[in-house]
């Protein structure tokens, strides 16, 4: 399942974030790449624990935890603290699959990367190239969203970032460990939840609502891992 989530940050908020990012010092993006990924990764990144990355990441997670669509689709259990990267002219990240486990620096807790997320912090017109290309069972998708929008997709997906040929592409990225490990099961639960909410809005007294809601929670109870 590939899901765009729009409007997490306003135009004014994103502008302030970009201005701060333009004035900070960056490190080589390979610092958080695995052995194989490091060969394909050519970008810049704020180090883990960087104050600006922590500020942006905290605001992002707080908003996602209150966002019904994210909560329904991801069914989050743990989230790896968001990282911030930058692709300038020539920057790219070849096809790769994210590491299955991530461990935040200074923490003993590990996060299984069931879901990957990218929050775009640059407007599409501000740079050429830089599309997030995701290859999965739904085919090959090229994603280049407005600043402040996020895309959520399976961590098992093969994906890359096309070379940036003009301008700079700023983004936040992170991983989520879901209460439901399998993407196909999460997708069914998400579709069912959407149908229940739509039915509740259209015919709130329909007797099938109780049955459908019960089935949803029984499936969740069967598939959930804690």
Report d(CA 112, CA 210) in Å as an integer.
33
Q: Do residues 8 and 149 touch, judged by C-beta distance below 8 A?
A: yes
- Whether residue 159 is annotated as binding a ligand: the answer is yes
63 is in an annotated binding site: no
Q: Residue 90 has which token pair?
A: 């020539």
Token digits for 174? 């992170």
Strand order in the sheet with 139-143: 41-42, 92-96, 158-161, 132-136, 139-143
Binding residue per annotation — 202?
Answer: no
206 annotated among ligand-binding-site residues:
no
Binding positions: 96, 98, 159, 169
Binding positions for 2-oxoglutarate: 169
Binding positions for Fe cation: 96, 98, 159
């Amino acid at each position: 399942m590939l899901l765009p989530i729009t409007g997490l940050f306003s135009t004014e908020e994103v502008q302030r974030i970009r201005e701060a990012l333009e004035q900070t010092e960056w490190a080589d993006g390979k610092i958080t790449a695995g052995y194989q990924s490091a060969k394909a990764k050519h970008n810049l990144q704020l180090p883990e624990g960087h104050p600006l990355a922590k500020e942006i990441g905290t605001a992002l997670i707080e908003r996602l935890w209150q966002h019904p669509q994210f909560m329904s689709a991801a069914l989050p259990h743990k989230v790896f603290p968001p990282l911030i990267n930058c692709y300038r002219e020539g920057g790219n990240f070849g096809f790769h699959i994210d590491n299955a486990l991530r461990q935040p620096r200074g923490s003993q807790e590990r996060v299984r990367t069931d879901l990957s997320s990218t929050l775009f912090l640059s407007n599409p017109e501000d740079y050429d190239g830089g599309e997030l290309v995701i290859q999965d069972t739904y085919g090959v998708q090229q994603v280049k969203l407005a600043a402040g929008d996020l895309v959520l997709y399976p961590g098992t997906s093969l994906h890359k970032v096309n070379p940036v040929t003009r301008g700079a592409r700023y983004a936040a990225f992170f991983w989520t460990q879901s209460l439901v490990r399998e993407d196909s099961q999460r997708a069914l639960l998400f579709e069912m939840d959407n149908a229940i909410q739509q039915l509740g809005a259209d015919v709130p007294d329909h007797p099938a609502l109780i049955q459908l809601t019960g089935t949803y929670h029984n499936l969740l109870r069967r598939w959930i891992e804690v």
